[in-house]
Structure 1
Amino acid sequence: MFNRVFMAAAALAIAAMPAWAETRVTYKSAKSTSSYYQMGVQIAEAMKAGTDGAIIVTVEESQGSVQNVMEVRARGGDYVFTTPPALVGLAQKGAAMFEGKGDPKFDTIRALFPIPSLTMHFVMSDASGVTDFAGMEGKTILLGKGSFGAREGEKYLGLFGLTDKVKIADVELSNAVPALKNGQIDGFVTAGSWPAPNVIEAAASTGVTVLSLTDDQIAATNRARLVIPAGTYAGQQSDIVTTSLPVVAYTTTAMDDDTAYELTRTFWEEKARMAEGAPWWAGVDQGLMVNIAGKIHPGALRYYKEAGFTLTDAQM
């Protein structure tokens, strides 16, 4: 009789444990070869360390942000994914790539925290003498193929009147630094978290100027303004003013408030430690919160209010 009572009491105690006590979360990231997949792995390690193993994050490879959003339709409360905020808005409207694919679950998407933005770098060799976009005329530029950076770079050349005034190199982006060193190209365009590994290598081995955009140019791109601080790259003596595509970690209202709170709290409290091993986390601060369009998960909101973050009415 005593054993039955004891076992029943133990079962009740386990059932009463906090929702986040033994939580497993799936983090849908990017291709395994990308920096964003590496970020996912770092977040998983930070969550395990920061919660003493109470939250275990499994990182899943993804083919891209659209896929991440689409999977909301079939996922539950353990699903976290990354995507630019603009794609969430399109999904909720059933527009563009989501036309005819709308789903009520898209309306349940809620933000947790920002991660490093896709940051545009227009990198010109010192030998080219180029210090602004006008100076790119007549130069050979590597855009790469198929990536966000390649598409965005081509768009900017058009916006700034350079489409027919530069030569586009037929070289893979992975070969950008060797091509710059041997003079095959004058510059290259890349997008990713900063500091970007290929820009670090180019600045250290060749000497480069990363171009800044004017306020008018930034307005024409319809992208978010971002400043890369002086000293980020070798030889960089002043801030670089460029553009970025914000990226945010999201979940849905199916996630319980306690889990969302713990994920958000742990992310911000572990961020400085993550930055010690991966400098791109140093670029994430409260200033990126403004890039979160739409609502933040109630559990995450609880943390932000406790921590004194400034939020907009639309985010609450």
Structure 2
Amino acid sequence: MGAAIGLAAAIGIAATASAETRVTYKSAKSTSSYYQMAVQIAEAMKAGTNGEVIVTVEESQGSVQNVMEAKARGGDYVFTTPPVLVKLAKAGKAMFEGKGDPKFDEIRALFPIPSLTMHFVMSDDSGVTDFAGMEGKTILLGKGSFGAKEGAKYLGLFGLEGKVDLAEIELSNAVPALKNGQIDGFVTAGSWPAPNVIEAAATTGVTVLSLTDDQIAKTKRTKLTIPAGTYAGQDSDITTTSLPVVAYTTTAMDDDTAYQLTKTYWEQKSKMGAAAAWWNGVDEGLMANIIGKIHPGAAKYYKEAGMALTESQM
């Protein structure tokens, strides 16, 4: 009898262990907002599945590394990257030139996460309300980040290269520098609402510049609208650009796991949004930004939820 009870207990433990799904989620540097998002997703998956899905967050040095690792990782691998990098990897172009691999063709999307959103932030004291007004002003771009590179590109595209003074200050000091008049404005990219823009708007008073449709077309980036009221003193919508970011896996992931991850993500999104406002910018509209195919397990959820997919995503 004792042996039978022991065997039954062992079987029960084994069944419990097999029911638990473990996933590795590779995101970004631990100091970034995208790492914080990864932690929130891990917590949401555990809560939304009653512990059936356990997500381990793994730090990354960037999206290119995330894509490259898809060649060697297994069915428990989820990673984040802008969709354009997946497209480049499959074609063996740009930073993936000479590094192509058939495994890249097995990458499949799960769900969109907050986009990298461009903010051109000008102090009220500067009087600047459009890009032409930036001429002769002191602007902080930062160094090395996507926002810094993108900001410099836009200055060139809009005829401002060499016509603004670029401040040699770290982006982390943008708000104090704006408050004490060292700079007239700064450029930052991240999910919205951006914490440094929230602080600047609340303490200094700022105008976040909108781009015209012609300017957006020149950037070749995705148009994004930040709704009125997002930042203190913002009475109207802000039209800007963004770089979409998506959570991906590969065909090595089984359909059930992909379905469970996707379903739980969308069902928990409102709770995540109550804790961190950047999740409130994610909606069905971002699905159009997914380039390439969506994992069949995820596609099953989208069909159930009535979220339309394009032919190229199926």
| TM-score interval for Structure 1 and Structure 2 normalised by the shorter chain | over 0.9
Match of 1:173 in 2: 171
1:137 aligns with 2:135: yes
**Alpha-carbon shift at residue 8 of structure 1 (Å):** 9.3
Deviation at 1:54, TM superposition (A): 0.1
SS of match in other structure, 1:38 = helix
Identical pairs, percent: 80
Q: Secondary structure at the match of 1:183?
A: coil
Deviations 1:191-240 (A, max 9, x none): 00000000000000000000000001001100000000000000000000
Displacement after TM superposition at 1:293 (Å): 0.3
State the aligned residue count.
Answer: 314
> Residues 271-286 of structure 1: matches in 2 within 5 Å?
271-286=269-284
Any residues of structure 2 matched to 1:81-100 within 5 Å, and which? 81-100=79-98
Aligned to 2:118: 120
2:162 is paired with a residue whose SS is: coil
Pairing 1:57-68 to 2, within 5 Å after superposition: 57-68=55-66
Partner residue in 2 for 1:270: 268
Q: What's the offset of the Cα at 1:70?
A: 0.6
Deviation at 1:41, TM superposition (A): 0.1
Amino acid across the alignment from 1:197 = P
1:46 aligns to what?
44
User: Hey, what's the Cα distance between the residues in 2 that align with 1:297 and 1:18?
Assistant: 25
Matched, 1:110 2:78: no
Other-structure match for 2:198: 200
In structure 1, what is the equivalent of residue 148 of structure 2?
150
Residue 164 (structure 1) shift: 1.5
RMSD: 2.0
| Partner amino acid, structure 2, of 1:289 | M
Task: Specify every segment of 5 or more residues in structure 2 that has no aligned partner in the other structure, as ranges.
Answer: none
Q: TM-score, normalised by structure 1?
A: 0.95
What is the aligned partner in structure 1 of residue 67 from structure 2? 69
Q: What is aligned with 1:184?
A: 182
Give me the whole-angstrom Cα distance separating, in 2, the residues matched to 1:18 and 1:228: 44
- CA distance in 1: counterparts of 2:286 and 2:27, whole angstroms: 19
The one-character-per-residue Cα deviations of 1:53-72 (angstroms, maximum 9, x if unpaired) are: 00000000000000000111
User: Which amino acid letter does the alignment assign opposite residue 247 of structure 1?
Assistant: V
Alpha-carbon distance in structure 1 between the residues aligned to 2:14 and 2:190 = 44
Identify the residue that residue 257 of structure 1 maps to in structure 2.
255
**CA offsets per residue over residues 264-303 of structure 1, 9 Å max, x none?**
0000000000000000000000000000000000000000
Compute the displacement of 1:103 (Å): 1.2
**Aligned mates of 2:237, 2:272 — CA distance in 1:** 23
Shift of residue 250, structure 1, vs aligned partner: 0.2
Which whole-Å CA distance do the structure 2 matches of 1:179 and 1:40 have between them?
30
Query: 1:237 — aligned with what?
Result: 235
Distance 2:38 2:113 in 1: 10
Distance in 1 of aligned mates of 2:215 and 2:252:
41
Q: 1:171 to 1:200 in 2, by over 3 A?
A: same
Moved more, 192-201 or 6-15: 6-15
Q: Which amino acid aligns with 1:117?
A: S
The one-letter amino acid paired with 2:32 is S
Question: Would the alpha carbon gap of residues 256 and 13 (structure 1) be closer, same or farther in structure 2, given more than 3 Å must change?
Answer: farther
Compared CA separation, residues 55 and 169, structure 1 to 2 (3 A): same
- Cα distance in 2 for partners of 1:239, 1:164 equals 29
What SS class does the counterpart of residue 191 from structure 1 fall into?
strand
Q: Which residue is equivalent to 2:77?
A: 79
Within-5 A mapping of 1:11-50: 21-50=19-48
Secondary structure of 2:122's match?
A: strand
Question: Any unmatched runs of 5+ in structure 1?
Answer: none
